[in-house]
Amino acid sequence: MKLATTTMLIASTCLLLSGCGEEAKPGIDPKVYTDSLFAVMKADRTNYTKLIVQRLGPKGANAIFPVEHWKDVDNGAPLPAQMFRAGAEAVRDLTDEFTYSLQSEWPINKQNAPKTDMEAEGLKFISANPGENFYGEETLGDVTYFTAVYPDVAVAEACVSCHNEHKDTPKTDFKIGDVMGGVVIRVPL
């Protein structure tokens, strides 16, 4: 709910600002919109990872601990990717103005693999160009979308060790600061 409220606040502010000038076009540029959404998502994900998951530590260190199958374990807490997915699913249920997902060229969970050519192209681009974002348009069904892909970077040792040591990982050499995947945001045009 916090993510949805923050996102709506940013979107409302951007919409208000876009109509202030005499020559301003109504609405908001899709790049500005997706960049704003990503800023909120990145802040929430980074803070959850650094302030919660990193501090909880491995099983047994604290009363609550992050674990992949957290629902099946007493005192388990969702991993950052699982929190991100929960947010994306909640937003999907609240609005059709945008969707987002966490994906990777090296997904531990196969449902996080790219599903469209644009997603695959964007993930390859952000991996090859650290610190840069990818933007494009794609048509799915009868709808044209502005699709943005942002780098998802390993921000804590917990990210690196979890991915490198996971039994289903296709890549075992991540380091802090590496692009591990991407956040894909899609807005209908």
pTM above 0.75, yes or no: no
In this prediction, residue 75 carries a pLDDT of 76
In this prediction, residue 148 carries a pLDDT of 97
In this prediction, residue 68 carries a pLDDT of 79
- Rounded distance between C-alpha atoms, residue 102 and residue 149, angstroms: 9
**Of 110, 130, 139, nearest to 182 (Cα)?**
130
Buried b or exposed e, range 103-141, using 16+ CB within 10 angstroms: bbbbbbeeebebeeebbeebbebbbeeeeebbbeebeee
Report the chain (189 residues): mean pLDDT per 10 consecutive residues: 45 43 65 84 75 63 71 79 83 85 93 96 96 96 96 88 87 94 95
In this prediction, residue 25 carries a pLDDT of 54
Secondary element (H or E) of residue 147: strand 143-153
Residue 146, number of CB atoms within 10 A of its CB:
19
What is the chain's alpha carbon radius of gyration, rounded to the nearest angstrom? 18
Parse the chain into domains and list their residue ranges.
2-188
Token pair, residue 85, equals: 């997915």
In this prediction, residue 51 carries a pLDDT of 65
- Rounded distance between C-alpha atoms, residue 120 and residue 153, angstroms: 17
- Rounded distance between C-alpha atoms, residue 117 and residue 28, angstroms: 26
In this prediction, residue 126 carries a pLDDT of 97
In this prediction, residue 62 carries a pLDDT of 58
In this prediction, residue 1 carries a pLDDT of 43
